[in-house]
Amino acid sequence: MIKSKQILILAVCLLTMNRVLLAVEGMFPLDQVPAKIKGLKIKPGELYKPDGSGIAGAVLWFGGGTGSFVSDRGLVLTNHHVAFSAIQRNSTPENNILQKGFYARTNTEELRAPGFEASLLVGFEDVTDKILSAVTPQVAPVERVKAIEREIARLESESEDITAGLEGRVVAMYSGASYYLYKYMKFKDIRLVYAPPQAIGNFGGEIDNWMWPRHTGDFSFMRVYCAPDGKPAEYDINNVPYKPKVYLPISTRGLNPGDLVFIFGYPARTNRNVTSFSIAYNQNVSYPLRIRIFEEIIDELEDEGKQDPAIELLLAGRLKGFYNGLKNNRGLIAGFASENLLAIKQAGEAAFLDKIATKPEWKNKYSGILPAIRKAYDDYYASYEQDIYIDYLRYVAVFADALQVEKWSREKIKPESEREAGYYDYQIARTKRNFKMKRIGYHAPADARIMKMMLKRLAAIPADARPDFLREIIREQIASEAEATIATYVDDVFERTRLTDTDECLKLFDLSAEQLDDLKDPLLELAGAVNKAMESIKRKRDIFYGEMLVLEPQYFAGLKEVMGSQVLPDANRSLRFTYGQVEGYQPRDAVTYQPQTTLSGVIAKHKDEEPFIVPPQLFDLAARQDYAGWIDRELNDVPVDFLSSCDITGGNSGSPVLNARGEIVGCAFDGNWEALINDWYYNPALSRTISVDVLYVLFILDKFSSADELIGELDLR
């Protein structure tokens, strides 16, 4: 008689096999783009060309997301939430363009976007042999990590050409089984051209975030500038709009369910190739702890913002980021449970172990891998909660700088071959070049609040597990007694430190460790003590990563040999291609979601409270049905957002969505709530990309903003 557990495993395996047969899963690296795509009306070779003249040559790693060139004058289409910091930093209580929107009719009216960077891919190469030649499987885990970090740093440093604006970035594929070096032209003069008012660009706010149906006009336009010779340059009044080799046309034909669409973008990170041990610890430990921390940080920032509208505006970007992360992590927890992902992974691993047992050769080769991976996870997570509270002190922005300054003072006297990753000369040079931009909008009292909260949480762990630096602050006080001590200590530190002054902090990078000690700066003194704790944490992490660099590639090789499994590499912020079709989904029994929303739906969602206040002008346009040429004849309305089965994740925000002819039909900005587990597991029945329809973009530009000059710059087809 088959036991219930065996039935569950069999059912899960059959379910997984069925999904694989139906799936269109794929964040394809550029050298793995499918040679045949049904319905594509251009040649697959037009998608990516090494000389940059293919469609991919118009796509940028843009700020925290993705953008695409849409004119021959460096105009970029991206999301409102990607451009958010540029809009926020140019807003004041007296001229709040975040609230009312912005449009520059001429180049001279465009606003600087300090802190923004745009990276254009100019080439890539497989550097696996160069990286792995530095190690052997017998090398100890920590030394393996260090050796690989050194080789990565060497290749990145050699690929850098500051004069030409070139930078290199090495990424690992398949947990370190292979490595690629991507080379970028990095632009630093980015300017804001157009942003809709927040009531359009962020309609629905956090309530609608990750949800469908969606009615958000999440788009903005920015422009890339360069020196007159065409090379990237810092902001200068004499800079000119960049002339890209290729830019993307825009379709005005509209979309229909079933239409082929595809996306190029820069997805941040997925974890689909991990084992059940990773899922178990993330589901039960990492994400619940991160949710708790994010909730507490949000409470502190919101309370600080209540003091003054100017402070609230200053903190808006940080809050938006934490809210997005919070909702994402909550959705992931729900997704782990709803998909029963742990059981699916365990079933797959059980099937792998059963099959290798049928051949002595396989058993000898692969039987020890999964037990070794399990032990590595158990060891790494033994003190995870304490370690994460120490590590997350980096969310105190000025303290993150103090940690780096203090660490750099000690690392820079070492030969580069002996330094920690992140502290090579070229890396610190990059940090110093970008330092002032990172500090724009800095608000020290918010930082002090976060530091107090983090230290209080550390004080709540058992006294014998407290890190040394905390014992120096609170001695043997219990958590309730320590709260007042911590508050007084942090207030004193922030009162006396010089690091809150941006220029003063930047100067500290050039001082020696002895010179820093002579300053007696309390934040730097704390940073020295915390860095010791972080170095211990990093050593544990390096042991873990070093073991995974051997074990996981062996496991992937075993899956391929034994099970015939061939998987795509997880996303890693390199340019990826994905395709699918316009289609809805059925989230639960008797509920079906259509793939398109309309302007009528925007009006129907209106309430007399944020975030569902529809601008009066939009009400008027809808009442008069003043849609001009931006109506979808099938819907008999202006389309707003649409769903597709394209496979994306964070970092794809702002990615162009293109039709079969290679014309922009939308701008991707979100995934759906039911498929937040997409970073860990692709479910073709539920995984959807949410994009703003380009017809809504054009409608808002034309009828709402009268942005004739901007529309005239676009290649409409």
- Identify whether the C-beta of residue 598 lies closer than 8 Å to the C-beta of residue 638: yes
* Closest to 180 measured CA to CA, from 680, 566, 548, 572: 572
Question: Quick one: angle between helices 444-459 and 384-391, nearest 10?
Answer: 160
Q: Is 606 considered catalytic here?
A: no
Contact 84, 321 (CB under 8 A): no
The structure tokens 């180049």 sit at 107
Task: Give the active site residue among 68, 80, 81, 641.
Answer: 81
H helical segments located in 395-511 = 397-411, 425-438, 444-459, 468-474, 479-496, 502-508
In the set 68, 409, 645, 653, the catalytic residue is: 653
Three-class SS of 673-711: HHHHHHHCCCCCCCCCEEEEEHHHHHHHHHHHCCCHHHH
- Is 653 catalytic? The answer is yes
Using an 8 Å Cβ cutoff, are 225 and 239 in contact? yes
Contact by Cβ (8 Å): 196, 80? yes
Beta strands 166-173 and 118-126, pairing class: unpaired
Contact call for residues 239 and 233 (beta carbons, < 8 A): yes
User: With left for phi above 0 and alpha for psi between -120 and 50, is residue 322 left, alpha or beta?
Assistant: alpha
Amino acid at 546: G
* C-alpha–C-alpha distance, residues 1 and 503, integer Å: 74
CA distance 77 to 193: 10
Name the active-site residue from 71, 159, 189, 218: 218
Tell me the C-alpha distance between 447 and 524, whole Å. Answer: 15
**Amino acid at residue number 312:** E
CA terminus-to-terminus distance, the chain: 65
Per-position b or e across 685-716, b if 16+ CB within 10 A of its CB? ebbbbbbbbbbbbbbbbbbbbebeebeebbee
CB 255 within 8 A of CB 564: no
Q: Yes or no: say if 311 and 443 are a contact pair by the CB < 8 Å rule.
A: yes
Would you state the structure tokens that stand for residue 700, as one six-digit string? 């808002």
Active site residue 218: yes
Catalytic residue list: 81, 218, 653
